[in-house]
Structure 1
Amino acid sequence: MSVLPAAVRPQLAAPRTLARCRELVGPALTEAVGRLHPWVAEMAAYSFGWCEVGGAPASAPGGKGVRQALAVLGAEAAGADGRAGVPAAVAVELVHAFSLLHDDIMDGDATRRRRPAVWKAYGTGPAVLAGDALFALAVDTLAAAPGGPGAVRLLSGALADLVRGQADDLLFTTRPGTGPERVTPQEYRAMAEGKTGALLGCAAALGAALGGAPEAAVGALDRAGRHLGVAFQLVDDVLGIWGDPAVTGKPAGGDLREGKKTFPVLVALGSPDARGLPALLGVPGREAEAAALVEQAGGRTAALAEARAHTAAARSALARAPVAAGAVSELDGLLDLLLDRER
């Protein structure tokens, strides 16, 4: 499934940007993880796809490295060498890994990137410990960088937003899908900005701050990243219902089977064209019917339109930022890549 028409799909520049940034950040990330307790370091390495349970080397699918790329490009946008953003890139990668370890436990997700989640592979207690260690290591890495104290304050603010977003996401499961107490699309946007957008915005802002950017540029990059995060989450919601399991690594209609209140579902629940939807959510075997109702009620169209709107807002923030044009061009390429994705 492609979100954007072929005429505006990203070219090869964005994947090359991600690869360049991973190559720059990789050695520092490996070195940082190596400072952990050996058992905790193994769990961290497993979460990154570097090893199997027991420590045998592996090359399992990992993340795209978007957050570390944002940090490197943030530094370059400030006119600095990309290496100035490496401590920020390492810190946000560690925080992201920490959040995924804890997310999988809270959500009861048994797999992550086609492998058992860390809590299934090592146990719940060890996975919590590994997440805590990654968080502490992220703060230590950033504090040791030039300009570290100010950078740590930026990171702590983003973490507070991330926790608020995660708290809202968990509370959404206890609220009805219809009626006066239902979760609204507006509340969902705020949740997505905290849970997903805060760390993306922080990544770009941290890189810019370590690169010596003025406050206006740091703020603009943070806003762009937050909009990008909301767009990313919305596309993820679409893939969670209509994505190809062979590509996404997730079962077809998994979000519907779990009864998740994603943006397309919330839009559909507010439409008279989906009156039968509440009875289908969370019912195994009824995913195809539920997906058809969500689409019929405009949920898919609304989610993609909202994603495009947040992408446009991200571009607008970048265009107004007093930063280097070359880095903005690469950041702009990432926007298309993340929207036009299949997993």
Structure 2
Amino acid sequence: MSITEDTTRGRGPEAVLARNRALFEPALRAAVDELPPAVRSVAAYHFGWSDENGAPAGADSGKAVRPVLALLAAEAVGAEPAVALPGAVAVELVHNFSLLHDDVMDGDTTRRHRPTAWTVFGSDAAILTGNALLTLALDVLAASGNAAAQDGLRMLSAAVLTLINGQWADIDFERREDVGLEECVRMAEGKTSALLGCACALGAVLGGGGVRAERLGEFGRCFGTAFQHVDDLLGIWGRPDTTGKPVRSDLRSRKKSLPVVAALNSGTPEGRELAGLYLRDGELSEPETARAAELIEAAGGRRWSQEQAEALLARALEALHAADPVPGPAEELAALARFAVRRTH
């Protein structure tokens, strides 16, 4: 029986996300409510809970894949998902710390179909709010009372440092003409995979999963790199009404994402033409971004990222199987991974 056919508790990916969001979001809101008022208002806007004036809003706050992974990983090792709630809240806070900072560093003006926090409140406010979310994440985990909280703190701190290193590399790539494909993959593994892997391992550790936590962490890391390939593809070919960002936004800022770097290193005429566009100063025009997208596809960058995403998904599912998980949550983790990696818009 396929996962989509199993309706015993709504195991389709959208149902899994919705059910687990209902479990963790009240805890996330309660944690954010403990922040000082100045940064709390910015955080509430960023999460989509309020508008720029503080009035309640029901804006898109993302799919919350990372906290859902933490809750499902706890279930996968035989625990109740509630034991992993502090970990779920912590990884979501860390993720949003990184988003607030990323938007400032990248100059992005739109996220989740709304103006980014820094464009509304200023870059200083967005940076300080991100710092507050990171501090809050560590506090939530430390105060959890879980016997594995210390181990969890070390895991989360290590993931944050890896994430920062990946973000550093991403920024460094913008200033460089020669970015190799292997180092671009390592950047993605740091910027995205580390926290997704941590979410899975953290949920398993808080759930008393022992050695199985490493296998679940491997599942999350492989899934994370596949997820980044797809995100990069959507940054070029995704629809603004679903991505929440302008069309070809990554190309406009000449971002050296995975399919772009694959094309630049292809040794093809199209790759060399693309390099000519990317070495210019300033943002690309609309006609230039359209041409860049054509060149990336012709040079094989789009196909390469699609193939890599599928191969990494297969590795993730192998690692999940090797963790000897409880069948129901394992099916949901697999369904969620397939859904996220096979997004087309």
| TM-score, length of structure 2 as denominator length | 0.92
Deviation string for 1:224-266 (max 9, x for gaps)? 1111111111011111111122332322222222111111111
Say whether 1:87 aligns with 2:86.
yes
Q: Distance in 2 between matches of 1:266 and 1:124?
A: 29
Say whether 1:192 aligns with 2:194.
no
Aligned 1:15-164 pairs, distance under 5 A: 15-145=14-144, 146=146, 147-164=148-165
Deviation string for 1:199-248 (max 9, x for gaps)? 1111111111110011x211111111111111111011111111122332
Correspondence for 1:326: 328
Q: Is the 8 A contact 2:113 2:241 kept in 1?
A: no
Q: Distance in 2 between matches of 1:97 and 1:205?
A: 19
Q: Distance in 1 between matches of 2:245 and 2:161?
A: 29
Q: Distance in 2 between matches of 1:253 and 1:36?
A: 36
| Most deviating of 317-326 and 151-160 | 317-326
Q: Is the 8 A contact 1:10 1:340 kept in 2?
A: no
Q: Is the 8 A contact 1:235 1:339 kept in 2?
A: yes
Q: Is the 8 A contact 1:205 1:219 kept in 2?
A: yes
Which structure 2 residue ranges, 5 or more long, are not aligned?
6-10
1:239 partner letter: L
1:212 to 198, 208, 211: 208
1:33 partner letter: V
Correspondence for 1:278: 275
1:111, CA displacement in angstroms?
1.6
Q: Is the 8 A contact 1:87 1:141 kept in 2?
A: yes
2:251 partner letter: L
1:19, CA displacement in angstroms?
0.7
Q: Distance in 2 between matches of 1:96 and 1:296?
A: 34
1:28, CA displacement in angstroms?
0.7
Q: Distance in 1 between matches of 2:300 and 2:203?
A: 39
Q: Distance in 1 between matches of 2:29 and 2:58?
A: 14
Q: Distance in 1 between matches of 2:105 and 2:39?
A: 20
1:342, CA displacement in angstroms?
4.2
Q: Distance in 1 between matches of 2:157 and 2:301?
A: 34
Identity %: 48
1:291 to 293, 296, 299: 293
1:279, CA displacement in angstroms?
2.2
2:264 partner letter: L
Q: Distance in 2 between matches of 1:152 and 1:247?
A: 34
How many positions carry a matched residue from both structures? 330
Q: Cα gap change, 1:156/1:23 in structure 2, threshold over 3 Å: closer, same or farther?
A: same
- Indicate the RMSD between aligned Cα atoms, in angstroms: 1.5
1:39, CA displacement in angstroms?
2.2
Which structure 1 residue ranges, 5 or more long, are not aligned?
1-7, 177-181
Correspondence for 2:227: 232
Misfit runs of 4+, over 4 Å: 8-12
Correspondence for 1:201: 197
1:283, CA displacement in angstroms?
2.5
1:120, CA displacement in angstroms?
1.0
1:314 to 313, 316, 326: 316
| TM-score, length of structure 1 as denominator length | 0.93
1:324 partner letter: V
Q: Cα gap change, 1:206/1:9 in structure 2, threshold over 3 Å: closer, same or farther?
A: closer
Q: Is the 8 A contact 2:181 2:265 kept in 1?
A: no
Q: Distance in 1 between matches of 2:34 and 2:249?
A: 37
Correspondence for 2:8: none
Say whether 1:256 aligns with 2:251.
yes
